[in-house]
Structure 1
């Protein structure tokens, strides 16, 4: 058996290989991250073994740069395993080369990691699953962008209109945004006639707000302690940020609609679990991928990085073991949010949370325990292709036999 390792980078990759005894099978070779470079890599691999079945190719999951090459090698018929960089770093320390890091050395370390580990060829999943994964990650990134823009608006308002937070129940509700688009500073507010401001509020609130609210805002603006220095720039900034928020929120709605239709087509059974809606369910399903690639629910727990680490030496055993966080951060976040939803809805998982708290677990520790139990339920639903069963939620061991 020959093991080929590829060190991934943005512009240039390096491929090297070892045999089953750990001896160099070929001299490492750099190649460009291009169609021509991929062709050179394929030619290199063809010269390593008599058949493709005698060769396992490995590459680190470095950002997103590995994906095009992975797809090309799979299309060529090669078995390709995506290696967690943590495994490669462990091999580097084992080899005693923790202070030595070059592309030529790293590709061989990837090959050695394959040789010494128990790796199976990785799968991307079908096109529908890949599309769903891209959409859910885009949805999350857009929401994070909006959150950042909102923070910037609040910072600006705290300087020019500190009292603004008390005017509307939601600073970023439709009525508040309509006001901020027109007169975000006290000076501008006082320069607008009350009846004109009332019409703006009435349209935005669909008749719930009007002249009384306009008079209230003008009264607060009249006694505001906000700064007047560079007020025109602050006004311009706030208006621009509100426009960006509106634009991105429209994009979020558009992406969300695609996510909803996607999860209903790919795996609607996830929606039968309480607290898991379309977007969250799509995140979980798309990050797990094909459930058949996991032998059991604990394997999914490990993949998410919510399995507890072990700290033990001799007779000492730590009681404060943290989760490993060595898996998918996207899946880990989604499961954490799903666990929080269980508490809000007081589902059967809430009783499990309360039990962990009564055992002395902190809130976050108990929530992680709920996340792990939730994985067992998700695994049962997806692997059995059966709707959610509350009895599985009450018994955390119900799906361990899978």
Structure 2
């Protein structure tokens, strides 16, 4: 499909013919509602409510067959809003039945809900009809069913994000615990998550525990936990600070138990994070073109997995601009008559894909010689603002990723300079 917006819109409209039964489905957790129209938007038949299970899908199939026979139509297209994860089951069922499934932007559904009756009323039946109306006007996008590798990356990276949030939360709570119970620990260990600090918190969690020990006892404990201990001077300093700490001396048993749980959560999150990253690298090895992309300075395996998990197979995009639009990085203009507004990012796309493309670009500007040179030229010669230069480089990165994937070529820095000239 063409990547220019107008050409793409024309193709989507032309896809709906006079032989099509256009069905809009309002998705819910347990019960969906379907409405049908023809290519002109005339409502056909009665609404159908069906459950999100096998029997419900069977009744939906019979309803479609009856409408096709009644109105002498031969093609079916079914559209729905991507509401959370509730639409997954129906979309996969439609794929198995060889029925074309498409998605409609929920934001546009809200904007178009008054087209039929000029009222702000809202119901499941009306929403289904609005979705069907938008489909016959070309306001939809095909469902991109990812292959196993890309689906695995998406699940793994979403899981990684959850684990990182837990890890950050555990670290923050450890910092809070230290501030309350033993704030002087920061004078010995500047980083509370280093091996020495964590070993100290595990072995001697409370200042009163340190007061009962001497330097040899502290060092002996450190030797059992790590290969290289923090030294005699630090051990003595730790004991001295423990004796004159200003930390809380109440509820010590509860604080000790709390720290034990925090450290367990920290260790568990780190273990899970390492397991996820190992699995991600294993999945990337099964995708043919990832080796060429990872050879580019500034692109890491985790960053590439994040992009592929959100975008799917890059070879499926006609152009890098299609990837940018999928991420919501296409430009939007607001102008009228003599008034010209500023160009802004539409941000109508996948926010996580947009986020990771930005992070990769920032990393490449710092580490990749070609991107760093282009950024300097944009800022110093072309006098662009730094963020505007970064946005241009994100577009270049999207075109680079899609181009390498589709052409089956290796990264050539000379081509990057040629395109930038």
Distance of 2:210 and 2:294 partners within structure 1: 47
Distance of 2:387 and 2:362 partners within structure 1: 10
Distance of 1:27 and 1:190 partners within structure 2: 80
Equivalence for 2:56? 37
TM-score, normalized by length of structure 1?
0.90
Taking only aligned residues, the RMSD between alpha carbons, in angstroms, comes to 2.5
CA shift, 1:65, in A, is 1.2
Equivalence for 1:190? 211
Give CA deviations for 1:339-398 in whole Å, capped at 9, x if unaligned: 121133143212333344446655544433322221111111111122222234335579
Distance 1:308 1:158, change over 3 A: farther
CA shift, 1:97, in A, is 5.7
Distance of 2:213 and 2:147 partners within structure 1: 57
Aligned pairs, number: 397
Equivalence for 2:40? 21
TM-score, normalized by length of structure 2?
0.86
SS at match of 1:322: strand
Deviates more, 1:353-362 or 1:150-159: 353-362
Match of 2:310 among 287, 297, 301: 287
Give CA deviations for 1:184-211 in whole Å, capped at 9, x if unaligned: 3433333444323222323444124243
Equivalence for 1:206? 227
Deviates more, 1:233-242 or 1:250-259: 233-242
CA shift, 1:291, in A, is 2.7
Equivalence for 2:12? none
Distance 1:364 1:397, change over 3 A: closer
**Would the aligned equivalents of 2:314 and 2:401 in 1 still touch at CA under 8 Å?**
no
Query: Unaligned stretches of 5+ in structure 1?
Result: none
Q: How does 1:226-375 map to 2 (within 5 A)?
A: 226-266=247-287, 267-268=289-290, 269-319=292-342, 321-358=343-380, 363-375=386-398
Equivalence for 2:166? 145
Distance 1:191 1:336, change over 3 A: farther
SS at match of 1:63: coil
Correspondence 1:176 to 2:197: yes
Deviates more, 1:90-99 or 1:145-154: 90-99
Give CA deviations for 1:302-359 in whole Å, capped at 9, x if unaligned: 101122332222222234x432221112211211221121133143212333344446
Deviates more, 1:227-236 or 1:377-386: 227-236
Distance of 2:365 and 2:62 partners within structure 1: 55
Distance 1:288 1:73, change over 3 A: same
**Would the aligned equivalents of 2:213 and 2:239 in 1 still touch at CA under 8 Å?**
no
Distance of 1:273 and 1:52 partners within structure 2: 52
Give CA deviations for 1:99-158 in whole Å, capped at 9, x if unaligned: 322211111111112111154532312122211221122122212221122122222222
Larger radius of gyration: 2
Query: Unaligned stretches of 5+ in structure 2?
Result: 1-19
Distance 1:102 1:391, change over 3 A: farther
Equivalence for 2:23? 4
Distance of 2:191 and 2:294 partners within structure 1: 30
SS at match of 2:90: helix
